[in-house]
Structure formats: structure tokens, C-alpha cells
Structure 1
Amino acid sequence: MNKVHQPILTDIPLCLRVGVTGHRDAALAATNRAALEQVVAEILLQLSRAANNVLWRYAGIYSGNTAQLQVTSALAEGADRLVAQQALNVGWALHALLPFSPLSYLQDFESQTSKNAFTALLDRAEVVTDLAFDHDTAQLAGYEAVGKVLARNIDVLIALWDGKPARGPGGTASVIDMALQEGVPVVWVGLSDDVPVQCISPSLGIIQQAPWQIWLGDYVEKTLTPPLESTNVLESKELSQFVNASPGRFRKGWLYPFFQWCISGRIPQKTDFLQSDVQDLTLREWQTFSENTAAEMPDTQASAVIHQHYVKADLMASMLAQQYRAASILNYVLASMAVLMALLGLLLKDLKLVWILLELSLILGMLGNTYIGKSHRWHQKWLDYRLLAEQLRVARYFALIGANSLKQHRLISSFYQAQHVSWVNWYLTAVIRSVNLPAGQLNKACTEQFSLGLTTQLNAQIVYHHHTAARAHKADHRLHILGEVCLYGTLLACLGYLGVAVFAGTVTYNVATWVTFITALLPAFGASSYGLRAHGDYEGIAHRSELTAAQLSDIAERMTYSEHDLASLLALSELVRQVKSTELRDWRVTFERKALAIPG
């Protein structure tokens, strides 16, 4: 393959995360251990070659000179340690994901040799995540939680499995099912004498049409490869523009905040004009959340990394939204004013040339405004950047407890593939993939503090959606009233003309001219009012915001009465993601069709 030269350089390293599950030593005793080790080493080398090939080809996009290859293992006896040791042997990083504290976990291992082997591997782990379940009272829950967290935080699962059904929660077959449900493919290493290797796809099942080496290499390359200039110039260009973009100091599109003031009563804020004020506000909000949760959280580094990407996406999305909306409003205003200029020629005929020139200028202004907005893709970029920002907003919270899942992002990637936003999904998954599980102990104090912090954030989002719904209702109502006023004004003008014609017998030229002026101008203003109402989808915004607020309120209430343990938080995090995914999908589908256009 040829090297692709793309000067887009991001600050995202190329990472590949591999998990391991499998049976313990008793089940592996009858197998050829040396053959197993050789096969596992071959799998890891195949994964390494595929990842490094992507990095070599796209060195102008990913940062760093080497791929960050990670194996996540619970370090139980048997398969967990076998794969972990082979990973270390071939230069991979080891991340230990433990169900209990290391001291409690040692009780699972009978011999001193086994305990020493566990300690030796633990010492070589770059990251150790302790889920802190009680070994005596919640042993099975601990094993099950390890499987859930593992499945959410890997790209490929290596399973040393005898092919038999699950014997209990957290067992090999159970973890395989969790991985497949998360959209993670499984490399199944059999335990028979010939040690067969098969790949299991979440959607296709066991792969039989290609050797496992080829299928696995293709999967890794497709997963890690960014949008290609050779296959999709627009996607590659959009990625490059986002990476190289800067929000700047000032916002454009100042017409929009004043329009909001008129139709919804929202007074313009400094944040409508200064990007630095928006950035400061976002920083203060995040610092408040971090300060309230950091005391008990073992590791906030992953969350901080995601937050930096969120800030840029959020600032860019807000700026472009204001530009796009202001441009849309300006088009309707210019169209109405063009009609007014044309009609003024009826009243002030001596200035006919002036009105024609003004009308022409307004039309040219409308055409120029539309051309600039389309050529800079304000509408599409707003949709893309907001989609990215909202998913990063959620991801930065769940990174604190290792609850991020690429499953939802893979589904979103599939859903939006036809809408040409694959760069958004590549960027999002690359960012999430690049951060580690939190290092340290996720004990009860940690999960309780996280629950409190997340509940606060959910309540803030609920308040935001209630305010958004109220403003949207008011805007929709006022535009509706304006349209009705124009309609009834036209009706009264027509009735007045008929009254004069019937009772006076004749209608003077001046009266007829004014009636023509009014009955032509008011419908034009009414049509613009309706166009603004439909284009802004204020009724739809209000409905979506009310629905989202109700769903988030339900989750916040559940969180208040939950056990505040890791298992509960993993389940609730899935609900939050589902609500946000539904909201984003509905919003995207609605506004995708509302591109900047000339009213007509």
C-alpha cells in the first residue's frame, strides 16, 4: 500500500485496544500451552501490523510515531495471564482491570506461584483499574462488571474458549456475548489439539469466507482509517477544516441574538458576541464539576483530554449556528424589503429608479448572502460540529468511571454514513479510543461522588431544555401572531376597499393604490413570518426539548434512588446515551433538510 500524504495532523494518537477472556488453568491443562502461546503471539502481531500499517499510511493525520497497542486483562489464572504475558513479550502495553482490590483478588489464587505470577504482571501494568467490589459479598457481581467494562473499552476481544455455553455471570461465554452486543469482534482461539482460530463478527457470526488473518487485518484497518481524500474528498476536507479551524475572538451573525430578543424575549448576552466569554463560561462550568468530583475520583486525565476536544467542537458549533441562523433570517428580511421597495414605486413614482436600484441591491444582497453561506458550508458544519460536541459532552463524564461505549457511536456512524459525516464518527471514536481506563480504585466513595456530579449535570441539562422549550414556544407563538396580523390586515384592507366601492360608488386612484400596496405588502410579510417559523422549527424544538427534559428527569430520579454502585451507573449511563442519541438523531434529521436558501 502507498503512503497517503494528508497535512491534517491532529493531536490524536493511533490506539488499538484489545481485551482478553478465557478459561482458567484447569480448563487449559489438557491443551498444548506452547501452541496456544504461539497462536496468541501471532494474533497480536497481526493486529500490530495492521495498526502500524494504518499509522504509516496516515502519518500526516495521527500524532506520534508508533501505534499505542494495549491489552486489557483481568489477570486471572489461565487465559488472562497467558495473553497478557504474550502481549508484554511483543511490546504491547498492559492494562489491568481488576474486579477487587489486589489484596482481595489474591484470595482467588491458591498457590504461591500463582500469586507471585499475578503480582509480577500487575507490577508491569501501565494502568491498573480496580472496580473495588467486595470479594466476600459481591464476587460474581465483580466478575460480571469486569466483563461489562472490558467490552465497552476494547476494539477486539481475544477469547480462549472451549465453545461451551456460559456457566455463570462473568464467565468466558458471557463476556463474549457482552463483546458482541457492544459491536466488538471476537478472535476465538479453540482449545483442541490443533488450536483453531476463528473470527466472530457481531453482525455476520463466525467468518468462514476468508482466513482469520485477512479478515482481522481488514477489520482493524477499516476501524482505524480516517476519511480518505482519494475516496471522499469532501469528508477529508471537512476533517482538515475542523482540525485547523480556530473559533477566534468574536462571533459573527449578530442579527440572530437581536432576532431572538424580538421573538422570544431573550436579551442578547456578551457570549453572543465574544467567543472568549463563551470559552470562559464553559471552562468555569467544567471546573465546578471537576472540583466537586475530583476529590474522590482516582483519575481525571481521560476526562480532561476529551473535554479539550469538546470545547473546540462546542465553540465552533455555536459560532456556525449563529452565522447560519442569522443568514437565514437575513434572507427573509431582505426578501420582504425587496417587495417593499417594489411597492413603494406605486406610491412615489418620481423615485421609481431609486426603488428599483434598492430592490436590485436587496436581491443581490440576498443572493450574495446565500452564496457565502453555502460556499463556507455554515449549515453542514454546524450540524457536524454540534453532533460531535454533544457526543463528546457525554463521553467526558463517563470517562471518569470507564463507562464510555463505542457501541452507540458505531450505530450513529452507520446511521449517518448516508449523510456524509464519517469524519465526525472517526474523530469521535479516535478520541475515545485514545484515552485510558481510569487508573486507581473505583470504590463506593468514588461512585457516590460521580453520581452526585452527574445528577447535577443532568439537572442543568433539564433546566436548559425547559428554558429552550419555553423560548421556542414563545417564538413560535409570536411569529404565528405576526402572520395572523398580516392576514387580517390584508382582509380588512380588502373589505375596506369593497365598502368604499359599494357605498361611495367610486374609488379614487390614491385609495386603490394604497389598498394595492397594503394587500401586496402584508401577505409578503406574512409569508416571511411563516417561512421563519417553519425554517426555525420552533414547535419541533419545543417538543424535542420537553421530551428530552422529561427523559433526563426520569434518569436523574432513578440515579437519586439507585445504589450508586458501579453496576447501577453502567446501566444508567446506557440510558443517558440512548436519550442523547435519540435527541441527536431527531434533531439531525429535521435540520438536515433546512439548508440556507433563497425564500421562494
Structure 2
Amino acid sequence: MGGIAYLPFASSNEKWIFAALELALLGSILAITMIGQKRRWHSRWFETRRVAEYVRHALVMLPLGVVRAPSRWPKGAETSWPEWYARRSLREAGLPRAQLSQAYLVSVLRNLLATHVEQQRDYHRYKAKRLATAHRNLDKLSEALFALAVLSVSTYLVLKFGGVQHWWSKDIAENSSYLFTFLGVALPTFGAAIAGIRYFGDFERFASISDVTAERLAGIHVRISQLLEGPESALDYGQVAELAREVDETVINEIESWQAVFAGKHVAVPV
């Protein structure tokens, strides 16, 4: 882009300024990509994110002394230390020092499980809506840029043809040729870049994942509400523990889904 950006703004004698700017930008992109690959920036972010998600959602299970079986943990494509670290961190916390009375179970169910499920349900609904909106907006923006590129080229041809037919001065097309050349390259370039962001970002797929997760959590929240509305004496540890496991299973499935998507995204070249 920098190589032609001078056309509507400067003379050919000043082209070197724009070329130097483009070289600096390309060099920066290459340097960031190479350093990021060498230091595993993307992989390290991905791994630490996994640990954070495991620990965050495990907090609803610890007060009940419920844990996920080792065989039920997700498997990392390249590394397994996040799962290893999360399991041992949770094991170190140990069993809760509490009496599993009816009042304790109700408190855990109402103040911990219900709140956590409600927050996660609302979060995934909001996330799905935002991602779907981003998906549509990026599509529209990309299409608009390509449409503008077609309009730009068509306008120049009309001006050129009108000048030849003496409908208006030929100088109009001649004086604006650099501008239309720039637009003819810049608009589809930006349109393709936006389309690349849209495809690489997988907004639609992540929106679907959040939609499914939100629906599952909504079903669990209904069951929690039914238990809380019932007699306290009918509540037992098995029911609450089972709900905690279902919450954990739901969020772990969601984590596995976005892990599968992100694990296949390797930034090998600066795109």
C-alpha cells in the first residue's frame, strides 16, 4: 500500500518517503512475527488461559469436595502442563472444612452454584450476540469496500469515456487518474484484509459455541431454581454435587471447543 499511497498526495520525487514507511511497517510485522514464534507468545497465552479457566470454574466444586476425574480432563494438542498444574493446584486446596448440613447445601446452591451459573449463562448469551454482530458487520464492511472498488473503477472509466466523447474535459479523468488508481488498489486490499480477519477470527463458530453453552447453563439454572423452591429437607448432597459436576462438564466442554479452534491457528506468516 505504501508504494502507491503517494499517488494522490505527492509527486514521484517524494515516493521514497512512502516506500520507506512501507518498508518500516513490513519490517516491524516480520520482526513481531518471528519473535512471537520464537518465544511462543500465542502458545503461552493459550496455555495460561487454559489454566485460568480451569481454576476459575473449579471454584464451584471445591466447597463440595467434588473434583473432575483425571481421565475427564481435556488433552492439550502440544502441551499438557496446564491440566497437570490445575489438577495439582486444586488438589493442594484439599477438602473444605465444613459440615454438610442442609443449611450449608442450600447456601452453596443459592450463593455459589446459582450465581455462577446465572452469570455464565448471561455472559455467553451476551458473547454470542456480540460475536454474531461482529461477524455480520465485518461481512458487510468487506462487501462495501469491494463494492466501492468497483464503483471507483467504473467512475474513472465513465470519466475517461466522457472525455473521449467530449461530454466534458479530458483533464478531469487525467487529473484524477492517480486518485482512482490508489482507490482501485486500496479498497479491495482493505476489503480482503477485513475478510481475512472475519475468517481467521471464526466469530460465527465461537458464537455458536456460546449459544450452546448458554442453553445448557439455562437448563441447569432451571433445575437449581426448582431445588431451591422445594423443601429444604428434600435437598441432599448427591443432588447438589451432581449439579456442580454438570456445571463443570458444561464449561469444560466449552473450553475444549475453543481449544480445538485455537489450537489449529498457527501464525506462520504475517497475514
Match of 1:363 in 2: 26
Match of 1:525 in 2: 190
Cα deviation, residue 597, structure 1: 4.8
Match of 2:126 in 1: 467
Aligned counterpart for 2:239 among listed residues 532, 557, 568: 568
Question: SS at 1:554's partner residue?
Answer: helix
Question: SS at 1:359's partner residue?
Answer: helix
| 1:426 matches 2:84 | yes
**Is this contact kept in 2: 1:451–1:564, CA < 8 A?**
no
| 1:585 matches 2:233 | no
1:322-377 alpha-carbon deviations (Å, 9 max, x no partner): xxxxxxxxxxxxxxxxx1x1112434212111111111001011112222322332
Higher Cα Rg: structure 1 or 2?
1
Cα deviation, residue 599, structure 1: 4.2
Question: SS at 1:520's partner residue?
Answer: helix
**Structure 2: distance between partners of 1:475 and 1:583:** 20
1:110-156 alpha-carbon deviations (Å, 9 max, x no partner): xxxxxxxxxxxxxxxxxxxxxxxxxxxxxxxxxxxxxxxxxxxxxxx
Question: SS at 2:208's partner residue?
Answer: helix
**Is this contact kept in 1: 2:63–2:96, CA < 8 A?**
yes
**Structure 1: distance between partners of 2:58 and 2:249:** 13
Match of 1:534 in 2: 199
**Structure 2: distance between partners of 1:388 and 1:568:** 28
Matched AA of 1:545: S
Give the paired residue count. 256
Name the one with the larger helix percent: 2
Matched AA of 1:585: E
Match of 1:456 in 2: 115
Query: Could you state the TM-score of these two structures normalised by the residue count of structure 1?
Result: 0.41
**Is this contact kept in 1: 2:58–2:248, CA < 8 A?**
no
Match of 2:230 in 1: none
Equivalences for 1:59-74 in 2 at 5 Å? Answer: none
Cα deviation, residue 385, structure 1: 1.3
**Structure 2: distance between partners of 1:501 and 1:351:** 27
Aligned counterpart for 2:63 among listed residues 400, 420, 441: 400
Cα deviation, residue 423, structure 1: 1.0
Cα deviation, residue 437, structure 1: 2.2
Cα deviation, residue 388, structure 1: 1.3
Match of 1:412 in 2: 73
Matched AA of 2:13: D
**Structure 1: distance between partners of 2:187 and 2:158:** 20
Matched AA of 2:97: A
**Structure 2: distance between partners of 1:429 and 1:437:** 14
Match of 2:164 in 1: 505
Cα deviation, residue 432, structure 1: 2.4
Match of 1:134 in 2: none
Query: Could you state the TM-score of these two structures normalised by the residue count of structure 2?
Result: 0.86
Question: SS at 2:164's partner residue?
Answer: coil
**Structure 2: distance between partners of 1:546 and 1:505:** 58
Equivalences for 1:281-320 in 2 at 5 Å? Answer: none
Runs of 5+ in structure 1 lacking a partner?
A: 1-338
**Structure 2: distance between partners of 1:476 and 1:379:** 23
Matched AA of 2:20: L
| 1:494 matches 2:165 | no
Cα deviation, residue 515, structure 1: 2.1
Match of 2:54 in 1: 391
**Structure 2: distance between partners of 1:368 and 1:522:** 26
**Is this contact kept in 1: 2:156–2:180, CA < 8 A?**
yes
Matched AA of 2:73: I
1:151-176 alpha-carbon deviations (Å, 9 max, x no partner): xxxxxxxxxxxxxxxxxxxxxxxxxx
Cα deviation, residue 520, structure 1: 0.5
Name the one with the larger strand percent: 1
**Is this contact kept in 1: 2:128–2:206, CA < 8 A?**
yes
Matched AA of 1:465: H
1:456-475 alpha-carbon deviations (Å, 9 max, x no partner): 11111112222222222232
Cα deviation, residue 421, structure 1: 2.1
Match of 1:322 in 2: none
Match of 1:346 in 2: 7
| 1:476 matches 2:165 | no
Match of 1:47 in 2: none
Which structure has the higher relative contact order (CA within 8 Å, separation 6+)? 2
Cα deviation, residue 403, structure 1: 1.4
Match of 2:211 in 1: 546
Match of 1:381 in 2: 44
